[in-house]
Amino acid sequence: MVVNQTTTMRFVPFSFSVFVPNFSLNFQIPNPNFIIRCLSSSNYSIHDHDDLVTLFNQLLNDDPTPPIFQFGKILGSLVKSNHFHTVVSLSQQLELKGIKQDLINCNILINSFCQLGHIPFAFSVFTKILKTGYDPNAITFTTLIKGLCLTGDIHQALNFHYKVVAEGFDVDHYGYGTIINGLCKVGDTRAALRLLRQVVEPDVVMFTTVIDSMCKDTFVDDAFDLYSEMVANGISPNVVTYTALIDGFYLVGKLEEAIGLF
């Protein structure tokens, strides 16, 4: 974890809405017609998919209702096989049945909506987490950050990250790496470098991502300085790091430096 969690601090929907003003504050899952359209457009591994759905329905009809984590295991398996539409559909069945979902299941649903590109629905689930009284964890925030980046809302992801940290919650290394990579892809290398400086223990992937972006922007000397800083901090460069620098030196005509580094 990068930031120490403060358990006494909690998000409230009102303050959060500053960053996502267009997102609904009510938890809603798409209507059945939407789900049917989604399901009909997917290619499933029939055996695994049908077995999991059948098991889910059996659990749903059991009396008494099994613990929620048993449903979560099935939903998690469906996510691993990329059956995101089915996860949405089955989660709707839990809601209609009045079964309270736990944080793990909510995170799974957030991930499914993000993978489908339905970010407003993902944040609606996030709002449900807050209203239910759960403490969102690093997985919650990282999944939302990844979802924003997947839809190209890189700076929205960056602002959301700042809000998360300001409230005393955790963003893990994968979350930071996702934003840094996204910023570099949209050409905002300076913002990526600033964010890199804020990570307590940055890794080789984060450094290399920024170094590669600097080289592509022809700021090769700055990239080499960052490489030197990385090495001085005890972080070993990898083949991707060296390739980025060699390409950068070659790009600006510094062939001797490129050959020497090789």
65-76 mean pLDDT: 91
DSSP codes of every residue in the chain? --S---TT----HHHHTTT-TTS-SS-----HHHHHHHHHT----HHHHHHHHHHHHHHHH-SSPPPHHHHHHHHHHHHHTT-HHHHHHHHHHHHHTTPPP-HHHHHHHHHHHHHTT-HHHHHHHHHHHHHHT----HHHHHHHHHHHHHTT-HHHHHHHHHHHHHTT----HHHHHHHHHHHHHTT-HHHHHHHHHH-SS--HHHHHHHHHHHHHTT-HHHHHHHHHHHHHTTPPP-HHHHHHHHHHHHHTT-HHHHHHH-
Residue 62 has pLDDT above 60, yes or no: yes
pLDDT tens for each residue of 138-155: 999 999 999 999 999 999
Is the predicted pLDDT of residue 21 greater than 80, yes or no?
A: no
| Mean local confidence (pLDDT), 57-86 | 91
Residue 46: its pLDDT value, please? Answer: 38
pLDDT digits (tens, 9 = 90+) for 162-208: 999 998 888 899 999 999 999 999 999 999 999 999 998 999 999 99
pLDDT tens, 249-259? 999 999 999 99
Rounded to two decimals, what is the model's pTM? Answer: 0.78
